[in-house]
Amino acid sequence: MDLKVLIVDDDEGVQLLLGKILEKIEGFEVSGIASDGGSALSMIEIDEPHIVFMDVEMPGLNGIECARKIMDINPKIIIIFATAHQEYMPEAFELYAFDYLVKPFRVERIKNTLERIKDTFRVQNYIADSSVKSAVDCIPNYTAKNKMSLDKVVIRNKDGISFVDMNEIILIQRENRNTVICTADEEYITSEGLSELYERLDKNLFFRSHKSYIINLSMISKIYPYGRWTFIVKFKNTCKDALITYKQYEELKSFFR
């Protein structure tokens, strides 16, 4: 299956250039082209692309703000900033961008980035479909220092209030502008933000691995690379996974001995 790519840039020349490059590399298809952030968000809701090439300075919603909203819809979308302005690079990497390309583009640079993306998806699919251990799969060999909490967390939603055992929660993530609490048997959806929920959780058991994820340390089974600055976390008892940044991965090691 080809990876779907959305190009977001108000320059028609750049749209054409990126489109032609993508046409020549096997495994990618341009699913849409948008000239501003607002249009891009609408197309993402409909087409669900795997990858977004994102300009920064555009009319209306700029690329950085658009990327923040994309992360709230689906944090697994790969965002590649493609801009003439280097000064936005720190903000871009705070959003865990896969890459940051500065105009004028070198075609080889773009091709290398796309090949790395294909490698990333190959590794992700291989680990998901097999029992092979990851090269960075070191966390499960350790024992958490602290015992699991038996407390419950109260989750408010439109249907009322749910009481969920903390130790049954596998991960909590942002998805489609809501917060989803995942257990092995059920998902609970709430409009509460991750920060609000995190304040009520046992910090000996839960870890904020990423802007869009909270994970249960006792449920981790594998960790493997996902781009240059991010890793994928796999869990026991679910096919769902989470993201963890390189910085948070280094901090995570301190929870284990």
The answer to pTM > 0.85 is no
DSSP string, the chain: -PEEEEEE-S-HHHHHHHHHHHHTSTTEEEEEEESSHHHHHHHHHHH--SEEEE-SS-SSS-HHHHHHHHHHH-TTSEEEEEES-GGGHHHHHHTT-SEEEESSPPHHHHHHHHHHHHHHHHHHHHHHHS-PPPTT--GGGS-BSSPPP--EEEEEETTEEEEEEGGGEEEEEEETTEEEEEESS-EEEESS-HHHHHHTS-TTTEEEEETTEEEEGGGEEEEEE-SSSEEEEEETT-S-EEEEEHHHHHHHGGGB-
Higher pLDDT, 88 or 239: 239
Model confidence band, residue 142 (pLDDT cutoffs 50, 70, 90): very low
Q: Which residues are CB-contacts of 23 (< 8 A; sequence separation ≥ 6)?
A: 30
- Go through the domains of the chain in sequence order and give each one's CATH number: 3-129 (3.40.50.2300), 139-255 (2.40.50.1020)
Q: Is there a contact between 224 and 135 (Cβ–Cβ < 8 Å)?
A: yes
**Taking 90 as the threshold, does the pLDDT of residue 9 lie above it?**
yes
Alpha carbons 204 and 107: distance in angstroms, whole number: 47
User: Scanning the structure block, which residue is given the tokens 């963890």?
Assistant: 244
pLDDT the model gives residue 173: 95
- Which residue, among 208, 216, 235, has the nearest Cα to 146 in the 3D structure? 216
pLDDT the model gives residue 147: 40
pLDDT the model gives residue 125: 61
Q: Is there a contact between 15 and 40 (Cβ–Cβ < 8 Å)?
A: no
pLDDT the model gives residue 133: 41
Beta pairing class for 169-175 and 178-183: antiparallel
- Which residue, among 95, 136, 86, has the nearest Cα to 253 in the 3D structure? 136
pLDDT 10s digits, 103-116: 888 888 899 889 88
Q: Is there a contact between 129 and 136 (Cβ–Cβ < 8 Å)?
A: no
Amino acid identity at 98: F
pLDDT 10s digits, 158-194: 777 888 889 899 999 998 889 999 999 999 999 888 9
Q: Is there a contact between 182 and 240 (Cβ–Cβ < 8 Å)?
A: yes
Q: Is the dihedral of CA 32, 30, 9, 71 positive or negative?
A: positive
Alpha carbons 198 and 188: distance in angstroms, whole number: 15
Alpha carbons 220 and 140: distance in angstroms, whole number: 7
Q: Which residues are CB-contacts of 45 (< 8 A; sequence separation ≥ 6)?
A: 73
pLDDT the model gives residue 152: 82
